[in-house]
Structure 1
Amino acid sequence: MRILTTALIPLFLIVSAKTVLAGEAEITWTDPDKYTDVRSGNENRQRFKDRIFKGFEKHFAKLTEQLPEGKLLKVNVTNVDLAGDVRFSSMQDVRIVKDIYIPRFVFSYELLDADKTVAASGDVDLKDMGFMTSSSRASGELYYEKRMLNKWFKNTFVADKID
């Protein structure tokens, strides 16, 4: 029994340490019907848009888990241009991903402290003109866009800037 208790203490400390990081994200989609490209290939347009937005919201939530507890990242998205372009091909629309159809994500953000004071803010126009030249292979939905957001998040909210 003593061995089990001794083994569980380090596990409890690891779990406790992870709960200290628990920032949150709040995403607003401003005029999504005017976005450059959030079009589907074969899927109902509204269902596709809802699914894509939910995917981005989950990704921002995952990113903000790296922020200290009590931080809130408010993002106001004003434009999305998914990697690729939708083209009609043999009786259906398909998304063709080529290097000339770059991903782009335009938004403003505020990082709020627990007392709701603004710790950081800015306007962001992300685009990845070399998105297909990466050595890693694309996998998963919104791969290029998420990679672009990951890089922005890491460069903007490194540990010494968010404490």
Structure 2
Amino acid sequence: MKPRLAVLLVAFAFASAAHGGARNVTDPQAPRALPESDSVNVRWEDPSRFSELRYSGNRWEASRGNWVQELATYLRDRAQQRLPDGQRLDVDIVDIRRAGSFEPWHGPNLQYTRIIRDVYPPRMTLDVRLTDADGTVIAEGERKLSDPGFLMSDSATLNSDPLRFEKRLIDRWLAQELRTAERGVKNEE
């Protein structure tokens, strides 16, 4: 490699890091919660303890990016759209296992490729607390989400979002959770 090219590559790498290049979800400086909101608050544990990283075939590649915050933001935004006025939802993300997995035994050409198979469904564990305008608890507890049929959806092949399976898991859970909570409030009236 030519010395000038090497110097440029090193300078580019430092510039990318200085300007917030690719982030790592286990970065100690990364946030562990979204900014507080009146209706929906989302926090998460240290991602290095998530199943996604602990059981990954390529821990380095699995930790790349900002996918925890992206999923938390998606959860908050979708919940805010569905949540009735006056209700509040607090969610702690306890664990995430993304759809697919790294299979390093396929060799160096595929060690950075997430292999999507039905044996690697998306999973999430959440601690949830849903309250009404008076602060009365409507629903709370641990929720274990999983979608073993995640590859059966028509939209799965048409969408290029790398978090599409996890987002669909969140959408299904919110539809069920808020529908159940709404029925519980109506039954009390």
TM-score (norm 2): 0.63
Trace 1:1-163 onto structure 2 (pairs within 5 A): 24-38=39-53, 45=63, 48=65, 51-65=66-80, 66-88=82-104, 89-90=108-109, 92-138=111-157, 139=159, 140-158=161-179, 159-161=182-184
- Which is strand-richer, 1 or 2? 1
Equivalent residues, number: 139
- Asked if the contact 1:42–1:94 (Cα under 8 Å) also holds between the matched residues in 2, the reply is no
8 Å CA contact retained: 1:23, 1:73: no
| Deviation sequence 1:43-70 (CA, Å, 0-9, x none) | 683x52xx11221122112222221233
- Quote the residue 2:26 is aligned against: none
Contact 2:138–2:184 under 8 Å retained in 1: no
TM-score (norm 1): 0.71
3-state SS, counterpart of residue 37 of structure 1: helix
How far apart are the structure 1 equivalents of 2:48 and 2:59? 17
Partner amino acid, structure 1, of 2:151: M
CA deviation after TM superposition for structure 1 residue 162, in Å: 5.8
Deviation at 1:142, TM superposition (A): 1.2
Once the two structures are TM-superposed, the CA of residue 113 in structure 1 deviates from its matched residue by 2.2
**The residue matched to 2:150 in structure 1 has which SS?**
coil
Within 2, Cα distance between the matches of 1:154 and 1:44? 28
% identical equivalent positions: 27
Give 5+ residue unaligned stretches, structure 2. 1-36
CA distance in 2, matches of 1:41, 1:34: 11
Task: Call closer, same or farther: CA 1:56–1:117 in 2, change over 3 Å.
Answer: same
The answer to whether the Cα contact below 8 Å between 1:26 and 1:74 also exists between their aligned partners in 2 is yes
Residues 54-96 of structure 1, C-alpha deviations (whole Å, 9 max, x = no match): 2112211222222123322111121110000023441752211
Q: CA RMSD in A?
A: 2.7
Unaligned runs of 5+ in 1: 1-21
Q: Distance in 2 between matches of 1:128 and 1:94?
A: 21
Provide the C-alpha distance between the structure 1 equivalents of 2:52 and 2:166, rounded to a whole number of angstroms.
12
What is the identity, as a one-letter code, of the residue corresponding to 1:147? R
Q: Which has the higher contact order (CA 8 A, sep 6+)?
A: 1
